[in-house]
Chains A and B, each alone.
Chain A
Amino acid sequence: MLGLGLGLAVAIPISFLQIFAPQPFRLLASAYERVLRSIPLLVTLFLLFYGLPSFGIRLAPFTAAVIGVGLRSSAYQSQIFRGAILSISENQFRAALAMGMNKIKAFRHIVMPQALRLAIPPWTNELTIVLKDTSMAFALGVVELVRQGRYIIVATREPLLIYLTIAAIYLILTLLSNNTLGRLEKRLRIPGIGVEERAR
């Protein structure tokens, strides 16, 4: 959850940089996003946890896991938002400027409400992935769901049962979150882009 939050917090500025910033920043943001999308999460985690101490930065396993999951997710999420924003026709933006809105207002009142709606389905998908990726934190010794299960297995000698339980918990969490966002998506739906004017 924290990882997803961090991912979101980093992703939005990154997507803005990629779309609106002058060339050098845009390249920088693109490079960030490419690199993080290209490295396996496990390697990112190991780099953070085992690699950073060489620079004198020692992270707690949990912190390293949150940062690792968060950074990687930010790269994917930035793509979601970039795509959503770019898919809103520029003409609507121009029309907003033409009636006297400044760029910030035009973005906030015209582009964003539409882009956010478009971003919900892919974002739900990303949430599902991040949720399951938390199991990677196992490798750093964080006591997450899988490690907790291992402890229980040691005590009970019931690996099949316990792993099935873990699978079930992931399944339930995923279904639950997808369901919630699916309902949000429906509630915000407007004909044409799947929305209606927001309840204010």
Chain B
Amino acid sequence: MNKEKGSVLRIEDLHKSFGDNHVLRGVSLEIKRGETKILIGPSGTGKSTLLTCINMLTPPDSGKIWLLNDEITASRKVNLLRQKIGFVFQDFSLFNHLTALGNVSIGLTKVKGMDRKKAREKAMEELKQVGLGDKASSYPAQLSGGQKQRVAIARALAMDPQLILFDEPTSALDPELIGEVLTVMKKLANQGMTMLVVSHEMGFARSVADEVIFMEGGIIVEQGPPAQLFSNPRVERTGEFLSRLSSLFGEEDEK
């Protein structure tokens, strides 16, 4: 993939309130091409809000967001920019009336205007990429949670995004189904996809993240490479949160 180290996403001093609830209190962040960053933090901290601000599903109150050279927050062509940002939802949000193949190809035909035959071919490739070539004609209701989430990932990939945002992609899954989704995500990371992932899968973070970002109370408390953050956090709160995570999930070899 592209080796240049330009920044794909840049966020500057982002604020967002819902009524009295000041959810994001000045978040700044940058992701370079090919990087995978993992966002962790207690619930209600603004992680999901941050993701939906990035593709303007939740318009921020103030602050700026750039995708490559386009300022998303100032753009009138939000729909165009959204095509370049994949989004994978916690609850999959597949289109229930379309087959797996239909889910992956509809963006190509209805958004990108690709002709149907080409779109189906490309969609099929993406499904194979996530290991679901044989499920192309299944409807969401006929798929397991892990398969649904992989279809959702294929749907995001089909649009050839510059960046994919994952909002707790495995937290709605039964434990035995989490692995298949993480495997696909690891593969993407290794292929050089740029990703921002909200997730508490620490094993995953350790193996693929270039950086782990700890958020709490609407700000970034600490960020750094997983090895450093996990073994030697600079901020006390980070350590507390991580050790609580580990004890909750029975993390393997945390020393």
Contact = CB atoms under 8 A, between A and B. Distances in A.
B139 A99 contact: no
Given A109-B106, A191-B141, A98 B95 contact: no
A99 B223 CA distance: 29
B83 A100 contact: yes
A39 interface: no
A190 B111 contact: no
Contacts of A96: 95
Contact of B99 (A89, A102, A105, A197): A197
Interface residues of A, number: 25
Contact of B97 (A91, A95, A97, A190): A190
A101 B57 contact: no
A165 interface: no
A198 to B, nearest CB: 8
A190 B96 contact: yes
Contact of A190 (B80, B89, B106, B139): B139
Contact of B107 (A99, A102, A190, A195): A99
A99 B156 CA distance: 7
5 contacts: A91-B91, A96-B95, A98-B55, A98-B82, A192-B141
Given A97-B79, A99-B156, A192-B139, 16 more contacts: A89-B93, A95-B87, A95-B89, A98-B55, A98-B57, A99-B83, A99-B86, A99-B159, A101-B111, A105-B110, A114-B97, A190-B141, A191-B141, A192-B140, A197-B98, A197-B99
Interface of B: 55, 57, 79-80, 82-83, 85-87, 89, 91, 93-99, 102, 106-107, 110-111, 139-142, 155-156, 159
Interface of A: 89, 91-92, 94-102, 105, 109-110, 113-114, 117, 190-193, 195-197
